[in-house]
Amino acid sequence: MQSMYVKRCPECGSVNLYWNREKGEIICRDCGLVIEEKMIDLGREWRELDSESSEHRRRAGAPLTYMQFDQGLGTEIGTKKDLFSFGSKKKNKFFRLRKWQQRVSTAIERNLKLALAELRRVSSYLKIPSAVEAEASRIYTLAAQKGLVRGRSMESVVAGALYAACRRHDVPRTLDEIAEASRIDKKEIGRTYRFITRELGITILPSNPVDYIARFASTLGLKPETQSKAIEIIEKAQKIELTSGRGPTGIAAAALYVAALINGEKKTQREVADVAGVTEVTIRNRYKELLEKLDLEKEMKKVKRREEILLKAKRKKKK
DNA sequence: AAGACGAAAGTGGTTGA
DNA sequence: TCAACAACTTTCGTCTT
């Protein structure tokens, strides 16, 4: 009899599930389906505080919700009755200010409403965890308040903010994926991403290739053992500084390619390259380095032996 | 015919004078 | 601000299966 409390994969019924707490994902080890994406923010406050106090003042958790365009905290310059106490010059100034503020703030609000709707669309398309979406809207809001949207399309800033939020939460999507979902050019997203992170002083660590493995492997339909193998390879490579300065997606792709070879579920370079959003050439380069500098000879010999056995079997069949 | 391999030229971003 | 640079891409020819 099955316990009704055991969680099962809705796709294949497997109970072999893997819960990645940090990313809020539950992944089925058998079919690779991402089942649930509820996310609790475990990260720390990311703002750059001045260096002395920064060690002590880190906070946990996400602040106010930025999903609403004014967070319910709008400020307005006062109306009539506040003005009796001013002379006429000041009064004029006050009116001007008020008018100006109304124009600006309604413009920002209108823009924010549109932008957050767009953000919602894109992130649901990409199945982004909600905490990351919230982070993205926060980033967008800050950017809008700083007037960084001017001269750029709203959509591209949304895409940039989303990309930044993904990176911050170690749930990286590739630029290609975001580009596809938002229909903004990849370069454009990269540009705005760099721009807004620089202007807002958001520091982002280079992403870890390991973070891509689960998703790539699952879209390629690779076995969980292959995933762990790939991760193992990456970790080895990181130890001898083979990964620094390289594009993380390229490394992830190459590691996955090698791991698939070793575990006997070969994928072509092209297949792997396509999901990872890199070219075959990059995979080849990384792959060559991996074989050279990591002692993978033994494992490759095994692969060759297996291939020979397969060949013999085929020849027998012909006879 | 398809995949793997590698050379060569081009692209966009970073860095350091 | 410009040039050198490293990583990556595009393109293409060749070899292997």
Q: What is the DSSP string of A12-40?
A: T----EEEETTTTEEEETTT--EEEE---
Task: Say if A107-200 and A210-315 have the same CATH topology.
Answer: yes
Q: How many whole angstroms separate alpha carbon A158 and alpha carbon A10? A: 33
Q: How many Cα atoms sit within 13 Å of A166 on the Cβ side? A: 23
pLDDT of the residue at A151: 81
Nearest amino-acid residue to C8, taking CA and C1': A282
Q: How many whole angstroms separate alpha carbon A127 and alpha carbon A316? A: 49
- Let me know: does A39 contact A131? Beta carbons within 8 Å: yes
0.85 surpassed by pTM: no
Strand B contact at CB of residue A57, distance < 7 A:
no
pLDDT of the residue at A202: 81
pLDDT of the residue at A32: 54
- Let me know: does A253 contact A278? Beta carbons within 8 Å: yes
**Domain definitions of chain A by residue range:** 1-42, 107-200, 210-315
Greatest pairwise CA separation for chain A in angstroms: 107
Nucleotide nearest to A271 (CA to C1'): B3
Strand B contact at CB of residue A284, distance < 7 A:
yes
Q: How many whole angstroms separate alpha carbon A275 and alpha carbon A54? A: 39
Residues A217-245: b if buried by 16+ CB within 10 A, e if exposed: bbebebbbebbebbbebbebbeeeebbee
Chain C nucleotides close to protein (CB under 7 A) are 6-11
**Category of A129 on φ-ψ map: left (φ > 0), alpha (ψ -120 to 50) or beta:** beta
Query: What CATH topology corresponds to A107-200?
Result: Cyclin A; domain 1 (1.10.472)
Write out the H or E segment, with its range, that includes residue A245. Answer: none
- Let me know: does A250 contact A278? Beta carbons within 8 Å: yes
Q: How many whole angstroms separate alpha carbon A26 and alpha carbon A14? A: 12
**Category of A308 on φ-ψ map: left (φ > 0), alpha (ψ -120 to 50) or beta:** alpha
- Token look-up 């940090």 returns A22
A42 alpha-carbon distance from chain centroid: 16
Q: Is A202 helix (H, G, I), strand (E, B) or coil?
A: coil
Q: Is A263 helix (H, G, I), strand (E, B) or coil?
A: coil
Strand C contact at CB of residue A282, distance < 7 A:
yes
**Domain A1-42 has what CATH class?**
mainly beta
Six token digits for residue A219: 């879209």
Please provide the distance, in angstroms rounded to a whole number, between the alpha carbons at the two ends of chain A: 50
Strand B contact at CB of residue A269, distance < 7 A:
yes
Assigned architecture for domain A210-315: Orthogonal Bundle (1.10)
- Let me know: does A300 contact A290? Beta carbons within 8 Å: no
pLDDT of the residue at A318: 56
Chain B nucleotides close to protein (CB under 7 A) are 2-8, 12-14
**What is chain A's pLDDT, residue by residue, as a tens digit (319 residues)?**
433 445 555 555 555 666 655 555 666 655 555 555 443 333 333 343 333 344 344 444 434 444 444 444 445 455 555 555 555 666 676 666 666 666 666 767 778 888 999 999 999 988 888 889 999 999 998 888 888 888 888 899 999 999 999 988 888 888 888 998 998 888 899 999 988 888 888 877 778 899 899 889 988 989 889 999 999 999 988 888 888 778 899 999 999 999 999 888 889 999 999 999 999 999 999 999 888 877 777 888 888 888 788 777 776 765 5
What's the helix, strand, coil split of chain A in %, to 5?
A: 60, 5, 35
Strand C contact at CB of residue A246, distance < 7 A:
yes
Strand B contact at CB of residue A123, distance < 7 A:
no
